[in-house]
Chains A and B, each alone.
Chain A
Amino acid sequence: MRVVAAMSGGVDSAVAASRMLEAGHEVVGVHLALSQNAATLRESARGCCTIEDAGDARRVADVLGIPFYVWDLSARFRRDVIEDFVQEYAAGRTPNPCLRCNEKIKFAALLDKAVALGFDAVATGHYAQVVERRDGSRELHRAVDPAKDQSYVLGVLDADQLARAFFPLGDTLKSQVREEAAHHGFAVSRKPDSHDVCFIPDGDTRGWLTRQLGEQPGEVVDTDGHVVGRHRGAYGFTVGQRRGLGLERSSLDGDPRFVVRVEAPTNTVVIGTAELTGVDLVVGDHARWCGPAPEGVVEVGAQLRAHGEEVPATAWADGERLQVRLGRRVRGVAPGQSVVLYDGTQVLGSATITSAGRT
């Protein structure tokens, strides 16, 4: 097959590209330029946006002897990921930009362009497994390395996207991937893992949002409506958050307080006890299925955030809408995050959480 290997400049995508090549595919390396003013010479612990990263990716392609290109998808990335990220926070929700990027950029803008240019598929360094069944249909599964499993952020892929996706690292431990990179002589074999949001280089999401949205002073209230503090922008808060609440007085009972709700229309942050943040009924929209949509009520495992634990649940889908009843209460379920459904290790699909409550 003719395959585009998306090469971020990190160790995972480097080994993914080399494995596609070893499997006998015709591989072309592509680095996505996602930032319109890429930083230079920054110690790259979390980037996919620096000229240094593009250079690292190019060097790996050189070592592999494959053609390499930089494709500018920065306008699409700005519109579909960054602006969406800002709007979601402004609406009081907590988006996951990695899911968004996989749905709209890597397996849409990039994949569509690759297919139009004559390629068959896109390979990335995500830790997840694609299992091909006898009838040719494909299933998405968790990676064997539980610490690195990234199936959650791929839960937005539909069957058509999955049909053209390769994740060559899903059967391997991260430590082995680094060894393999060193064996190939890739200079990136010891490069630090990326983490956080790639377009917020210093990791300070609240500060970054403040620069986008401006300060919007408002009130922090308890669940009875009493004002207990002030904030500089409700968009800076996430359901389940405990730190940085800026309370003027500690609660009477001395128990810690958490964000229970973010009310964007009134710019209000509502706090309460830990107990109040526990929910067992989750409603989502924008449901996406990796295969056929499940019919009726199904027994599943539900994961409610990246690196969150899986909870037994029952789910029923109705078009774009999804309702999930959790087997036990879970704290800190934030609207805007995705609920990803599993059957064993298999990813069934996902939906964006719109509300969470109690049965």
Chain B
Amino acid sequence: MEESREQVAAALGARPSEIVFTSGGTEADNLALWGTLAARRDADPRRRRIVVSGVEHHAVLDTVDFLVDHEGAEVTWVAPDTDGVVTPEAVRRAVETDPGSVALISVMWANNEVGTVQDVEAIAEVAHEHGIPLHSDAVQAVGHLPVDVTGSGVDLLSATAHKLGGPMGVGALALKRDAALVPLSHGGGQERGVRSGTLDVAAIRAFAVALTESVAEIDPEAKRLAGLRDRLVESAVALGGGIRPGGFWRPGDLSRRLPGNAHLLVPGCDGDSLLYLLDAAGVECSTGSACQAGVPRPSHVLLAMGLTDDEARGALRVTLGRTSDDGDVDAFLAALPAALERARRAAGAR
């Protein structure tokens, strides 16, 4: 396990002692937010405000809601721009209304729905000017983009194995040595006393191997995936009908959008109709994030980016990964026109 810890630390640009293994990204987010809030408030009762972006995953959003409802926290939501970018200036404005009240800042590394990558380094500078810790949910980024805990200045960072080819049920919180954190699970004192409980060594081993391999191949793989992504988006947009990419997108860009994330906004279509039609044609994609699978609601990310309910309903997310190739993009592009035509007809029946 300690060998795995060293590998994970090396892959994330952290020290081995800064890696706390968890059951996944959700636990890492909960531990980071709740544990930091509790520690900062213990040190100074005024510090109970969380500054957090409006495009976070539910593992962060719902944890913040919980802390507001049950732990006396206050929250300042930072709205993104229309590309889903949370600017350092917007974070600064939110902090500087009352810097002394802020317990922590949380801004995700890369968005799971629209793929937009945030300027975490610049946001960390803003945070540190005021002595505030920064947490970043990097679940989507780790293994797909260069992520360097030390270099970025982030104080807490969440990662998970299953988004980079590892098993489900294991992840980590990278935690700077000087970060103040109150543990949430108590017992045997494992993981620096921050996260008690016997760990799943086999899963951790697999996590470390998968992470090491994916990080070693980031450069060529990101370039390859971005090429597929760009062809998919360009060809879809060329079909006309007002189709446009969701989130920041520039052909050839490798740093401001997840290389494997293609997101399309399709006016006049319900995403769930497209989903069915593409599925029936053998193309697997999604309308937003899988966690909204209970009842489909317009994506909170798209709404935060300023889209209307109706615009947000016509969302299609295509994720490209290690096994995706030109043939998959061809299959998607071949199936898309007929699916669009039928979905538009179905929307007329809405």
Interface residues, chain A, CB within 8 Å of chain B?
Answer: 28, 33, 35-36, 38, 40, 51, 54-55, 67, 69-72, 74-76, 109, 112-113, 115-118
Contact = CB atoms under 8 A, between A and B. Distances in A.
Given A69-B275, A69-B276, A116 B296 contact: no
Contacts of B346: 112-113, 116-117
Nearest to B345: A116
A276 B237 CA distance: 69
B296 A117 contact: no
Given A51-B295, A72-B272, A113-B349, 15 more contacts: A28-B276, A35-B295, A51-B294, A67-B276, A69-B272, A70-B293, A71-B296, A72-B295, A75-B350, A112-B346, A113-B346, A113-B350, A116-B273, A117-B276, A118-B277
6 contacts: A67-B276, A69-B272, A72-B270, A74-B295, A112-B349, A117-B273
Nearest to B276: A69
A277 B5 CA distance: 80
Contacts of B342: 116-118
Contact of B279 (A67, A74, A113): A67
A115 to B, nearest CB: 8
Nearest to B338: A118
A75 B345 CA distance: 18
A81 to B, nearest CB: 15
Contacts of B276: 28, 67, 69, 117
Contact of A70 (B296, B343, B345): B296
A54 B272 contact: no
Nearest to A28: B276
Chief secondary structure at chain B's binding surface: helix
Contact of A116 (B279, B295, B348): B348
Interface residues of B, number: 21
Given A67-B279, A76-B350, A118-B342, A113 B273 contact: yes
B350 A117 contact: no
Contacts of B348: 116
Nearest to A35: B295
Contacts of B273: 113, 116-117
A71 B272 contact: yes
A71 B276 CA distance: 10
A51 B293 CA distance: 9
Interface string B15-50: 000000000000000000000000000000000000
A72 B297 contact: yes
A-B pairs, 5 with minimum CB distance: A112-B349, A116-B346, A51-B294, A116-B345, A33-B295
B13 to A, nearest CB: 39
Contact of B295 (A28, A54, A69, A76): A54
Contacts of B280: 67
A36 B296 CA distance: 9
B12 to A, nearest CB: 35
Given A116-B342, A117-B276, A109 B349 contact: yes
A70 B272 contact: yes
Interface string B97-124: 0000000000000000000000000000
A51 B295 CA distance: 7
Nearest to A51: B294
Contacts of A38: 294-295
A301 B350 CA distance: 36
Contacts of A75: 350
A333 to B, nearest CB: 35
A339 B294 CA distance: 37
A67 B276 CA distance: 9
A132 to B, nearest CB: 25
Q: Which of B277, B295, B346 has the most CB of A within 10 A?
A: B295
Nearest to B313: A72
Nearest to A108: B349
Nearest to A69: B276
B314 to A, nearest CB: 12
A239 B272 CA distance: 43
Nearest to B339: A117
A54 B295 CA distance: 8
Contacts of A72: 270, 272, 295-297, 313
Interface in B231-283: 270, 272-273, 275-277, 279-280
